[in-house]
Structure 1
Amino acid sequence: MAPKVHKGNKMKVRFPKFDFSNIRARWAPNGEFAQRANAASLIPAYIEPYLLKVMIKAKPLIEPSKTRLVEELDIFIKQEMQHCKQHIAFNRRMHELGYAWLKPIERDYEATYKRFLETKSLRFNLAYCEGFESLSATACQLYFEDYNELLEGADAEPTDMWRWHLAEEFEHRTVCSDVYHELSGLNPIFAYFYRIYGYFYALVHLGRFQMMVSKKLLEHDRAKMTPAELKESLVRDKYARKVMGRHFVSFFFQICSPFYDPAKRREPQGYRAYLEQFEKKYDADREVVAA
């Protein structure tokens, strides 16, 4: 399967220098939303190294003639390395803020990916990676459109970390899909159903983990609240969950369609302009693959 070509689109490796030393755990006006985002931040610290190992294993199996896919895969790997690095730094700050009890949870989560690499087939790991990337491209649309009201007045560093990360996820949204279809070894019908299996597996696995960590973070915070503060927290959290889940069903059916093509996903509003501004603000150096 030939990789998708995006006219005028470029994949870039950016090297942001965030300073998380002064951030708060509840870095958005809706602190419950911030903690749910903080729970999600544990995921890239461990799934990104797993993605890299899967793609490094897959790379030699791609036909040498597929030069564009190989080039995009190289950039994908470098982008994911930066995502991992920044989320590890952010999570370390969370530990410093009194959430060091997250460490054993993180170790257990990390062990899951070690098990996947040791016991699961390359086909499974590619399908899982493709499922995760489908979710990440969706998250980009959420952070640039649906979450604007929740991010208004939020601290700059975590907001920019998430928007930069997810903008790059959208930027390289086709890579895992192309690698999966190149190496699955299945006919189009079976490849579709196995892709859906990988998507469901990733959706359930990651969703359960994020919900579990979110619950623990919120319980930790609420243990120190007065009854009035707890009531307000529950109201804020209900609203945050409403906003965060607003378009879940439509995205779900879009990804599950047999005609789903990540290259044809609608570009999130403001995503391209944001990256241009981001590079001026944070980016120390860049590597580029021209379209």
Structure 2
Amino acid sequence: MHARFPKFDFTRVRAHWARDPEFAQKCNAASLIPAYVEPYLLKVMKIAQSKIDPGKTQLLEDLDVFCKQEMQHCKHHLAFNKVLRDQGYPGLKAFEDKLRTDYEHFLKTRSLRFNLAYCEGFESMSASGCEAWFEDYNDLLDGADPVVADLWRWHLAEEFEHRSVCSDVYHELSGLHPVSRYFYRIYGYFYALVHLGKFIGAVSAYLHERDREGMTPEELQASIDRQKAIKKITTRRILPMMLKILSPFYDPAKRREPLGHREYLAEFEERRQALTA
């Protein structure tokens, strides 16, 4: 696990960067989240860092890399989201403002334990996203803009790399008996799942509504049919994922590596180094 500092050029990226616009817009809706959840994660982990026993050197080193990776994720999704907003989706700003306000509220009014559990829940979902991007979406990414595909694959590959950090910090600082710690972890997971699920649903609905303005009945039906087909692909891992995460024996460090994830990161770094050579 280490921090990477890639450069992306989004100037030529279009909102419909994938063959199926409905898939692109689902991912575009999800892209709003890292721009605001990552700064929130950094603030929570900064508080946690000051409370961790200095003797826990490995955890503190992992936390340092985690924060560096998340800073880069935030930076690049902010840049991507601005390009998207400027292509005829000004209503995205209201969604972004709401999400920012939610996280400010969590930090001001909720306990460190809650915030740690929420972070752990979010990271559990992100690591599962890596599996989908490397194993389920290959057909959907056929012919897609490689810049956007790289953004997501790099991001989620790093999410898988640091999948244990928030869990380790939560277990270190929750202050709960193991049984209570388990149930509170599940509470944090479901809170994050529902909170972000509603958010993505609302943003996706807005993006689809904008895209469908002026469509003929035939075009509209074709768009709806594609959306339904994509939903089947993008949601089929949810139940198996949940069953793993809900287990009292769940350990993110023991998760199966997504196929091609490690090789992709090596190839990604080689390409980036060649560009700067």
Identify whether the pair has TM-score above 0.5, normalized to the shorter chain: yes
**What's the Cα RMSD here?**
1.1
- The 2-side partners of 1:260 and 1:110 are apart by 30
Instruction: Check if 1:249 corresponds to 2:229.
Output: no
Q: Deviations over 1:237-274 (max 9, x none)?
A: 11100000112101111000001000000000000000
Q: Deviations over 1:141-198 (max 9, x none)?
A: 0000011111111110111100000000000000000000000000111100000000
- The 1-side partners of 2:40 and 2:95 are apart by 17
- The 1-side partners of 2:266 and 2:126 are apart by 20
- Residue 115 (structure 1) shift: 0.3
Aligned residue among 28, 44, 48 for 1:54:
44
Aligned residue among 21, 34, 41 for 2:31:
41
- The 1-side partners of 2:270 and 2:186 are apart by 39
Residues 202 and 23 of structure 1: is their aligned pair in 2 closer, same or farther, counting only changes over 3 Å?
Answer: same
Equivalence for 2:87: 97
Query: After the TM superposition, which of the residue ranges 91-100 and 136-145 deviates more from structure 2?
Result: 91-100
Please tell me whether the aligned partners of residues 15 and 283 of structure 1 are also in contact (alpha carbons under 8 angstroms): no
Instruction: Check if 1:12 corresponds to 2:27.
Output: no
Aligned residue among 60, 75, 80 for 2:65:
75
- The 2-side partners of 1:19 and 1:56 are apart by 30
Secondary structure of 2:74's counterpart equals helix
Equivalence for 1:172: 162
Secondary structure of 1:15's counterpart equals coil
- Residue 217 (structure 1) shift: 0.3
Aligned residue among 5, 8, 14 for 1:24:
14
- The 2-side partners of 1:76 and 1:268 are apart by 19
Please tell me whether the aligned partners of residues 18 and 282 of structure 1 are also in contact (alpha carbons under 8 angstroms): no
Aligned residue among 77, 88, 100 for 1:87:
77
Q: Which runs of 5+ in 1 are unaligned?
A: 1-10, 286-291
Equivalence for 2:126: 136
Aligned residue among 205, 212, 215 for 2:202:
212
After TM superposition, the score normalised by the length of structure 2 is 0.97
Secondary structure of 1:252's counterpart equals helix
Instruction: Check if 1:233 corresponds to 2:223.
Output: yes
Equivalence for 1:182: 172
- Residue 283 (structure 1) shift: 5.4
Instruction: Check if 1:259 corresponds to 2:249.
Output: yes
- The 2-side partners of 1:281 and 1:114 are apart by 38
Equivalence for 2:141: 151
Richer in strand (by share)? 1
Count of paired positions: 275
- Residue 105 (structure 1) shift: 1.6
After TM superposition, the score normalised by the length of structure 1 is 0.93
Query: After the TM superposition, which of the residue ranges 37-46 and 103-112 deviates more from structure 2?
Result: 103-112
- 1:260-275 to structure 2, matched below 5 A, reads 260-275=250-265
Secondary structure of 1:151's counterpart equals coil
Amino acid at match of 1:21: T
- The 2-side partners of 1:12 and 1:131 are apart by 22
Aligned residue among 162, 172, 181 for 2:152:
162
- The 1-side partners of 2:9 and 2:135 are apart by 25
Query: After the TM superposition, which of the residue ranges 100-109 and 123-132 deviates more from structure 2?
Result: 100-109
Amino acid at match of 1:235: D
Give percent identity, aligned residues only.
Answer: 62
Amino acid at match of 1:44: P
Amino acid at match of 2:101: A
Which structure has the higher relative contact order (CA within 8 Å, separation 6+)?
A: 1
Aligned residue among 199, 218, 224 for 2:189:
199
Amino acid at match of 1:165: H
Q: Deviations over 1:2-51 (max 9, x none)?
A: xxxxxxxxx11111111100011011111101100000000000000000
- Residue 282 (structure 1) shift: 2.7
Equivalence for 2:116: 126
| Misfit runs of 4+, over 6 Å | none
